[in-house]
Amino acid sequence: MIHTNAASSELFDNLRLELRRGCLVVAVLAQLYTEHYGYALRKALGDQGLAIDENTLYPLLRRLESQGLLVSQWREEEKRNKRFYRLSPLGEEVLPDLLEEWRQMTSALERILGDRGLASTPKSRSQSKEEK
């Protein structure tokens, strides 16, 4: 039984990772309408309920910058050099389309879940974990 639970937990973690991957891109791009440096961005996302690991965030920021969606610059703030990121003109152009796509997907998903009475689940796995 322990083995089954461990396997199901690993499976859930992998599915969760896949689910989060695309959402994080949207969240980071949306948050960077205003300029942030890495740590402040991580805090801001965490404060809004989307905690993100630094080993995920920084490589993601670099990838988005290399794709031309973000621009960054090193600047001194509070006597320390920090790298500030914000949305590039290309990012500003792409983000609304991405958000529209995301809205369509969530509303479709809501309809599917609503039709099957799954719109509100009794207790999610992460909620159960937190209670424990």
Partner 1 sequence: MPITKTDLIDRYLHAVKFWLPKAQQEDIIAELGEDLLSQVEEGEAALGHQLDEDELAIILKKRGSPMKVASSYLPEQRLINPAMLPVYRLVLKIVLLWVFVPLFAFVFLGPVLAFAHPGRALLACCVEYWRAAFMTVGMVTTVFALLDRYQVKFKHADNWDPRKLPRVPGTQDTRARWNHLAGFIFGLAAAVFWVSLMWQRSEFAFSGGTRLILGPVWKQIYWPVLGVTLTGAFFDLLSSLYPRWTRVRSRARIGIDICGLIIAAVLLRAGNFVGIVDGHLSATDLATSVAWFNGMIDWTVIAAVVIEIGDAIHEARSLLRGKSAKPAAIQTT
Q: Name the H helices within 1-132.
A: 2-31, 38-47, 54-66, 89-115, 125-131
Q: How many residues bind partner 1 (CB under 8 A)?
A: 15
Work out which of 54, 92, 100, 110 binds partner 1, going by CB under 8 A. Answer: 54
Residue 84 makes contact with partner 1 by CB under 8 A: no
Minimum CB separation of residue 58 from partner 1 in Å reads 6
Q: Are 70 and 25 in contact (CB under 8 A)?
A: no
Element at 37 (helix H, strand E): strand 36-37
CB atoms within 10 A of CB 86: 16
Q: Contacting partner 1 (CB under 8 A), which of 24, 50, 52, 82?
A: 82
42 burial via Cβ count (<10 Å: 0-12, 13-18, 19+): buried
Written as six digits, the tokens of 8 are: 């199901």
* Interacting span for partner 1 (CB under 8 A) from 26-34, 48-56, 93-101, 112-120: 48-56
Asked if 79 is part of the footprint of partner 1 (rule: CB under 8 A), the reply reads no
Question: Which residue number, 10 or 54, has a Cβ lying nearer to partner 1?
Answer: 54
The residues that touch partner 1, with contacts defined as CB under 8 A, are 37-39, 42, 54-56, 58-59, 62, 74, 80-83
